[in-house]
Amino acid sequence: MRKEFVVKSFLFLVFGLFSIAALLYPAIQNGYPLLYSDSASYICSGHDGVVPIDRPIVYGLIVRHVSMSFSLWFVVIFQAAVFFALTWFTVRVLFRRERAVYYTTFVCLLTGFLTGASNYISQIMPDIFTGYMIWSVALLMLPVQQKMRWIIWGVALISATVHYSNLMTLSVIALLLLLVNQLWKHWLSPDRLLKVQLGTLIVIPWIILLVINFAYEREFFINRSTPVFLTGRLIETGLVHQYLTNYPEAKQDALYPYKDQLPEKIWQFVWNDDSPLYNDSCLAQGWVNCWLYHADEYRNTIRSILSKPELLSKFIRICFSDWIKQLSDFNIGHLTQQGANSALSDIITHYFDDAPMFRQSKQFNEDLFFTKESRVQHYAVLCSIILLGILLWITCQPHRKKLLFILAVILAGMVLNAFFCSSLSGVLNRYQGRVVWLLPWIAIVVIISFAESIHQKKQHAGKEAI
């Protein structure tokens, strides 16, 4: 018995390490974890203990403590390990336990090489946790052991707190599942624990952010950047210019002097030095001060625009159009060079001991493009949709109901993620790219389920023949 346990543990370790290595292929190929421009803010916030004005501090704290201020490799290894663990939980619930580690490795390999999941896992960014959050909520619907269920619940909870859009997405998904459970009780598990977990997922992530922000800033708040980002969004849609031009009362608006100098894109308004956001004395005390200084003025601008029926209806039409665009825009975006003159170069040198490895990476010397990987992902998503239609709707499998429910939660999460991100921030490929890999992932699981059902039928036929 002991020998069998040692062998199983050894196999689990070997296959686990192999799976994690496969999921980190983009980072291994680069020679260092992949870095996005926003990675600097997360690294600094966690190490300096300062809540960024434009994002939660939670992922920064994860980076700080998982890396141990030694190496960012620990962070991406942790992210890959979470993927492996969630896959293993899924496989153990659906299939034979003795094959769990093999199926888990198979799913990790295919998902890693056919989708952008490995790219987002390899980045020092919280994007991959959006997919983990949706995935975890779907797993809560399965008949999982209580200890395992609390672990999955914890993953969903933490994942929700790393990005503001995750908070809204999780709250709506959990609320919808509670309503489904109430209206169609035969669809979900009747146990009280599930209701408690879903109910807490609606509220607790918001409370956690309030408490964390108070602990670091001595002030209760969720998000102090909403007025700036939403004003930038209204500028991008053309509604601010239309309001300032066509409505007489707009002459009193703080943005009126800049009505002919407004930028085209939200990122230009938020980050460019020549933006109206920074065009006064507030910048002397730092750019963050400008966000706070203009907050009340921009709230008035937003309120004035959205109170006009004509402008509100136009904004709704634009949001709906961008929502549709976002659903199909999931290319793996390129990552800019982070060389010797970049902010990240100084930050990594200051905070981590593996800076020499960073200076030898590909991204230190050049931009990284993922055109081929994006094309492969598009084909994988298309094939997944076709396979899911055939294998789930046409064939009959023993796990069909469970898989359909997981798929329904995934689709709901993808739709909500696209809606909140595109409506409040605009269309950006990474917003949907961070969750679209869930479709090929569930398709691979369905293929395994289909193969298992065929194998069981053959075994059953063989027994009857005997």
Q: Give DSSP secondary structure letters for 247-270.
A: -GGGGGSTTGGGTTS--SSHHHHH
pLDDT score, position 73: 97
Which of 258, 276, 307 is where one domain is finished? 307
Instruction: Clarify whether residues 29 and 144 are in a common domain.
Output: yes
Instruction: Clarify whether residues 24 and 142 are in a common domain.
Output: yes
Kindly report, residue by residue over 390-419, the tens digit of the pLDDT: 877 766 566 778 888 899 999 999 999 999
Instruction: Clarify whether residues 194 and 237 are in a common domain.
Output: no
**Which residue is it, tokens 């670091």?**
216
Nearest to residue 106, comparing CAs of 440, 432, 465, 466? Answer: 440
Flag whether 316 is in a domain.
no
Flag whether 190 is in a domain.
yes
Q: Cα–Cα distance between 22 and 192 in angstroms, integer?
A: 39
Q: Is the pLDDT of residue 463 over 70?
A: no
- String of b and e for 20-42 (b: at least 16 CB within 10 Å)? bebbbbbbbebebbbbbebbbbb
Q: Cα–Cα distance between 36 and 260 in angstroms, integer?
A: 32
Q: Confirm if 216 and 51 have CB atoms less than 8 A apart.
A: yes
Instruction: Clarify whether residues 88 and 196 are in a common domain.
Output: yes
3-state secondary structure of 133: helix
Helices 73-94 and 100-114 sit at what angle, rounded to 10 degrees?
130
Q: Cα–Cα distance between 254 and 244 in angstroms, integer?
A: 10
- Burial class of 389 by CB neighbour count within 10 A (0 to 12, 13 to 18, 19+): exposed
Residue 235 vs residue 279, higher pLDDT: 235
Q: Cα–Cα distance between 140 and 156 in angstroms, integer?
A: 10
Instruction: Clarify whether residues 25 and 133 are in a common domain.
Output: yes
Mean pLDDT across the chain, nearest whole number? 91
Tell me the residue range of the domain where 278 lies: 226-307
Flag whether 314 is in a domain.
no
Instruction: Clarify whether residues 300 and 350 are in a common domain.
Output: no
Instruction: Clarify whether residues 184 and 234 are in a common domain.
Output: no
Q: Is the pLDDT of residue 461 over 70?
A: no
Instruction: Clarify whether residues 52 and 188 are in a common domain.
Output: yes
Flag whether 318 is in a domain.
no
pLDDT score, position 108: 96
Domain count, the chain: 2
Q: Cα–Cα distance between 60 and 40 in angstroms, integer?
A: 10
Instruction: Clarify whether residues 32 and 109 are in a common domain.
Output: yes
Flag whether 324 is in a domain.
no
Q: Confirm if 26 and 122 have CB atoms less than 8 A apart.
A: yes
The tokens of 404 are what?
């359909």
Q: Cα–Cα distance between 439 and 159 in angstroms, integer?
A: 19
Flag whether 253 is in a domain.
yes
Flag whether 317 is in a domain.
no
Return phi, psi of residue 34, to 5°: -75, 145
Instruction: Clarify whether residues 278 and 363 are in a common domain.
Output: no
Flag whether 323 is in a domain.
no
Return phi, psi of residue 123, to 5°: -95, 150
Q: Is the pLDDT of residue 242 over 80?
A: yes
Q: Is the pLDDT of residue 187 over 80?
A: no
Nearest to residue 277, comparing CAs of 343, 228, 239, 223? Answer: 228
Instruction: Clarify whether residues 198 and 230 are in a common domain.
Output: no
Q: Is the pLDDT of residue 104 over 60?
A: yes
Q: How many CB atoms lie within 10 A of CB 298?
A: 23
Q: How far is the CA of 250 from the CAs of 239, 253, 260, 263, 301, in angstroms?
A: 12, 5, 14, 18, 9
pLDDT score, position 360: 95
pLDDT score, position 254: 92
Kindly report, residue by residue over 129-149, the tens digit of the pLDDT: 999 999 999 999 888 888 889
Kindly report, residue by residue over 26-48, the tens digit of the pLDDT: 999 999 999 999 999 999 999 99
Q: Confirm if 79 and 128 have CB atoms less than 8 A apart.
A: yes
pTM of the model: 0.94
Instruction: Clarify whether residues 88 and 174 are in a common domain.
Output: yes
**% of the chain surpassing 90 pLDDT:** 75
